[in-house]
């Protein structure tokens, strides 16, 4: 059964506090709800560290298609190289094609383009791993993590693989919280695809504002509902951020004040809402979690 | 100090793995310092999905904007579609969505790989070609150097290609000598690979958090694939004194010289709000002083003798990227195979 609600935490700029927000609200909501947290920042996954998990568990390889060419059948016609969008199949005139593994995205275009059945459909390449780690904090929940191998450059297939595992392992009628990476490309849109609600985390600087706009563009274009979170509120003005998000139809705004004590708990890998529940940042996170809890109840997310 | 002519140009990348640790803030100070000392210099903002360097440098107008139209976008002809679901099954990106029995392709996810159109039995899938994938922009900054900046369209793929093109334009503008200073994206994906390709030196930026340490290890491993000589800057080092030793121990173990530590400083976000590099906004602030001394060190001790520096700190043993390829009937998928 699919999750009753999928909420995605994203933001565009790096270091705005996406993982900080996602891990803390997961910890808070796990007391009341059946939920799963998915760390889809496959290039730099850190949620397990922020939750104090010492190791990732239940490894599964992310195996994407890889063209293995049968040179007995290949006529060097060039159809595969022509179909390849990433330039992974190189061919000098009249010589058989060669595949550059790093460039290959695993899309299978060559497989379907080859008129001679010279490409096996069974070749695979491991571009990363997914993990499913039980987090024994608070009410307890499962963390699914995607990890891209160093040297691989095709992020979206790894995001999709981790997302599919998260959807599969979310408790029936549960809540799925997705944490995305930095950026505004299609690896981010792939991560938020199933989400009904996008929680955009920004920082009160012109840099945060610039990248927030791109994320709001995607979220609105994909028909998502939007909530805005301004993290480290107070270090500079955030009026423009709030105004911009409203123009994109944001329903709610939450301000998390800059809070050195919360930052220290983040650095050590302990959720601020557990370490110092009375900290100003924790209070704001509780408010966000309450709003999400109300939303989840309305959608019929299963209670614990 | 007489500034040496660096011929052919050297490529210096600022990277971190983790986002928001201060890459653009440091890159701006470094660029200003090098320009001030008389280096020939082009700065490249290689974070095409979240380009911010122009904001830190207070760029108000672009002298040149090139549209990049290399994208392809699939769409489905509904009257030809037989709802066989094959496109949805073959799409690696999960871009095919079914709404009320109609098959559509999500334009924010589609990579333009052609696979669905090749696999579609009734040939119901067409492509729009020359879709705008982004822009490459050029500006003359107030500080006497040129900035090249890449920006991808929201939700579009292949930001790495834009980065490569921005770097190529930067090299062309730089000419036969000087420094190409590249501000990389967060992460270790295609944009970062494009940033590091061809580079000789990298400034790694980390903050004393477990998250940053983990990302530092990953980006460092990637720089080893490329044989690049690293140096490390620890930003906001005083925010978490107890995690600081973990970063320093890693650097020592891996022969990465720590070239400076920058304290947490509330002036930094204020400088951003004013669209000024920290050394211009408040040169006497603790962060400005620390960043300036790091930039001076690079200008005076690293770049003039960059080949010697590279020879001293380059990875000792080559660690090339080795793909894991599975042939039918074979399982070497485990991490520590």
In total, how many domains does chain B have? 2
- Confidence (pLDDT) at B36: 96
Instruction: Give B-chain residues touching A206 at CB under 8 angstroms.
Output: 55, 272-273, 275
Coil/strand/helix, residue A218 = helix
Domain encompassing residue B240 = 10-68+134-313
Domains of chain A: 5-62+128-298 (3.40.50.300), 67-122 (3.30.70.20)
B272 and B284, same domain (yes or no): yes
Q: Do the Cβ atoms of A109 and B222 come within 8 Å?
A: no
Q: Do the Cβ atoms of A189 and B113 come within 8 Å?
A: no
B186 and B249, same domain (yes or no): yes
B253 and B126, same domain (yes or no): no
Q: Which of B157, B188, B334 sits opposite A186 (nearest CB)?
A: B157
**Rounded Cα distance, B185 and B173, in Å:** 22
Report CA-CA distances (Å) from B141 to A268, B32, B55, B183. Answer: 39, 10, 11, 15
SS3 content of chain A, % helix, strand, coil (to 5): 35, 25, 40
Residue B200 lies in a domain: yes
Alpha helices (runs of H) in chain B, residue ranges in sequence order? 23-36, 53-56, 86-90, 115-119, 159-174, 190-196, 210-225, 244-253, 267-273, 278-281, 286-297, 306-313
Q: What is the pLDDT along chain B (337 residues), one digit of tens a residue?
A: 678 899 999 999 999 999 999 999 999 999 999 999 999 999 999 999 999 999 999 999 999 999 999 899 999 999 999 999 999 999 999 999 999 999 999 999 999 999 999 999 999 999 999 999 999 999 999 999 999 999 999 999 989 999 999 999 999 999 999 999 999 999 999 999 999 999 999 999 999 999 999 999 999 999 999 999 999 999 999 988 889 999 999 999 999 999 999 999 999 999 999 999 999 999 999 999 999 999 999 999 999 999 999 999 999 887 889 999 999 877 665 554 3
The pTM of this model reads 0.96
The CATH number linked to B82 is 3.30.70.20
**Rounded Cα distance, B337 and B331, in Å:** 9
- Residues in a beta bridge with A179: A9, A39
B170 and B126, same domain (yes or no): no
Reported ipTM:
0.96
Q: Do the Cβ atoms of A264 and B50 come within 8 Å?
A: no
B98 and B214, same domain (yes or no): no
The CATH number linked to B16 is 3.40.50.300
Coil/strand/helix, residue A81 = helix
Residue B326 lies in a domain: no
Instruction: Give A-chain residues touching B272 at CB under 8 angstroms.
Output: 205-207, 236
Instruction: Give A-chain residues touching B190 at CB under 8 angstroms.
Output: 153-155
Residue B323 lies in a domain: no
Task: Please count the CA atoms within 13 angstroms of the CA of B337 that sit on its side-chain side.
Answer: 13
Instruction: Give B-chain residues touching A190 at CB under 8 angstroms.
Output: 93-95, 109
B97 and B230, same domain (yes or no): no
B32 and B117, same domain (yes or no): no
**Rounded Cα distance, B143 and B31, in Å:** 9
């Amino acid at each position: 059964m699919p999750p009753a609600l999928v909420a995605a935490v994203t933001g565009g700029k790096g270091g705005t506090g996406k993982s900080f927000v996602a891990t803390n609200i997961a910890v808070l909501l796990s007391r009341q709800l059946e939920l799963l947290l998915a760390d889809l920042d496959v290039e730099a996954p850190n949620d397990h560290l922020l939750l104090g998990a010492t190791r990732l568990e239940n490894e599964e390889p992310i195996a994407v298609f890889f063209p293995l060419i049968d040179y007995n059948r290949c006529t060097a016609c060039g159809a595969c190289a022509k179909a390849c969008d990433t330039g992974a199949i190189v061919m000098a005139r009249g010589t058989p094609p060669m595949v550059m593994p790093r460039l290959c995205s695993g899309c299978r275009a060559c497989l379907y383009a080859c008129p001679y059945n010279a490409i096996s459909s069974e070749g695979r390449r491991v571009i990363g791993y997914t993990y499913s780690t039980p987090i024994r904090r608070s009410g307890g929940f499962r963390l699914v993590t995607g990890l891209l191998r160093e040297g691989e450059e095709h992020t979206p297939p790894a995001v999709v693989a981790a997302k599919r595992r998260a959807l599969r392992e979310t408790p029936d009628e549960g809540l799925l919280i997705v944490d995305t990476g930095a950026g505004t490309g299609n690896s981010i849109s792939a991560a938020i695809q199933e989400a009904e609600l996008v929680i955009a985390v920004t920082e009160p600087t012109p840099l945060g504002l610039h990248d927030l706009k791109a994320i709001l563009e995607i979220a609105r274009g994909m028909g998502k509902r939007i909530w805005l979170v301004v993290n480290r509120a107070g270090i500079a003005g955030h009026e423009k951020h709030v105004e911009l998000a409203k123009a994109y139809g944001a329903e709610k705004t939450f301000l998390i004040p800059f809070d050195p004590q919360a930052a220290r708990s983040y650095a050590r890998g302990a959720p601020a809402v557990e370490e110092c529940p009375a900290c100003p940042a924790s209070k704001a996170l509780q408010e966000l979690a309450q709003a999400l809890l109300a939303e989840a109840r309305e959608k019929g997310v299963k209670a614990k | 100090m007489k500034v040496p002519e660096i011929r052919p140009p050297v490529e210096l990348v600022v990277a971190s793995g983790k986002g928001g640790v201060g890459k653009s803030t440091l890159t701006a100070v470094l660029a200003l310092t090098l320009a001030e000392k008389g280096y020939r210099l082009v700065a490249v903002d290689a974070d095409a999905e979240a380009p911010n360097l122009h904001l830190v440098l207070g760029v108000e107008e672009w002298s040149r904007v090139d549209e990049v139209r290399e994208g392809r976008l699939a769409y489905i002809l509904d009257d030809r579609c037989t709802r066989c679901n094959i496109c949805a099954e073959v799409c690696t990106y999960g871009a095919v969505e079914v709404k009320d029995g109609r098959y559509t392709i999500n334009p924010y996810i589609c990579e333009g790989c052609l696979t669905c159109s090749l696999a579609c039995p009734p040939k119901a899938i067409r492509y729009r070609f020359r879709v705008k994938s982004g822009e490459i922009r050029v500006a003359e900054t107030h500080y006497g150097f040129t900035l090249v900046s890449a920006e991808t369209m929201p939700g579009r793929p292949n930001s790495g290609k834009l980065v490569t093109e921005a770097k190529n334009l930067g090299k062309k503008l730089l000419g036969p000598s000087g420094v190409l200073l590249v501000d990389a994206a967060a992460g270790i994906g295609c944009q970062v690979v494009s940033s590091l390709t061809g580079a000789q030196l990298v400034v790694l930026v980390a903050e004393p958090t477990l998250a940053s340490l983990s990302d530092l290890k990953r980006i460092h491993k990637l720089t080893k694939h490329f044989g690049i000589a690293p140096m490390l800057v620890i930003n906001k080092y005083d925010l978490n004194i107890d995690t600081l030793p973990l970063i320093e121990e890693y650097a020592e173990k891996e022969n990465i010289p720590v070239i400076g530590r920058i304290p947490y400083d509330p002036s930094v976000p204020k400088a951003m709000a004013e669209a000024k590099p920290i050394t211009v906004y408040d040169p006497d602030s603790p962060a400005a002083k620390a960043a300036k001394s790091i930039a001076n060190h690079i200008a005076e001790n690293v770049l003039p003798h960059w080949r010697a520096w590279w020879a001293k700190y380059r990875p000792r043993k080559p660690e090339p990227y080795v793909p894991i390829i599975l042939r039918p009937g074979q399982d070497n998928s485990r991490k520590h195979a």
